[in-house]
Structures are given as structure tokens and as C-alpha cells.
Amino acid sequence: MEKRIINPWKWQDERSYSQAVEVKNVESTLYCSGQAAIDPDGTSSDKDMKSQLEQAIANLEELIRSAGYECEGIVRLNIYTTSTEELWPYFPILQEWIAKHKIQQAVTMLEVTGLFETLKVELEATVVK
């Protein structure tokens, strides 16, 4: 697989993402459903934003590994949240996870009026190898 990062500007570097990611000669692609703070028994979390973000990251990582992929292969990450204002102070948690796995991804963050049950944040990824 060949990956090319396109960043015509520098400001996105502080926000831990790329403006575009071109991928060639891909062996396979994994399209992940949104992962949120849901326990293995299917119970949705009613905890705070920080706890839900940490669990959503852990669930996404588990899904990617279970499929035989690596987090480094994430090329697209969509973040859905019920409150960007509430999520923003915890954005460094996501940035540390991105740096830890050397992820270079295009990203979109959307504030939505609601997620399933009591959920506050959901992460959706496209992963290649």
C-alpha cells in the first residue's frame, strides 16, 4: 500500500489530521461503523464526555484489531458529538491516541442533535492495508 498525505497548509498539523489522504495499491479496506461508549453487553454509557471518548476510542481500536487491521491504517475518521464545546477540552486524548499509532487521516467532526440513547460521541473510521 502507498499512502500520500496532502496538506497545502500547516495549521491542521496542530489538530492532528491531514487535509487529504491518497491511497494506492490497497490490499483491502475496512469500513467501520461508528464506535461509541457501549459495553460488550450492549449497554450504552451514561458517563461524562471524557469517559465516553476514551471508551469509544478503545472500542474502535478493538474492532480494528479484531478485523486484522492496524490503527495506523486509518485514512478517514469521522467524529460525531452531541456537543463540540463539551468534547473540545478532551481533544488531546484523541490527539495522543492518533500520535501513539502514527495515524495520518482525513477527518470530519460534526455536532449532531443526538446519538443513540445516552451517547455523546461516536467515531467512524475507514482503514486500509
pLDDT tens digits, one per residue of 103-113: 999 999 999 99
- What is residue 26's three-state secondary structure? coil
pLDDT tens-place string over residues 35-75:
999 999 999 999 999 999 999 999 999 999 999 999 999 99
What is residue 24's DSSP assignment?
A: E
When pLDDT is cut at 50, 70 and 90, the band that residue 122 belongs to is very high
DSSP string computed for 92-121: HHHHHHHHHTT---EEEEEE-S--STT--E
Quick one: what percent of the chain has pLDDT higher than 70? 100
CATH of the domain at 87: 3.30.1330.40
d(CA 116, CA 121): 10
Amino acid at 9: W
Range of the structural domain that residue 48 is part of: 2-128
* pTM score: 0.92
What is the C-alpha separation between 86 and 51, in angstroms, rounded? 12
Domain total in the chain: 1
- At 88, the amino acid letter reads W
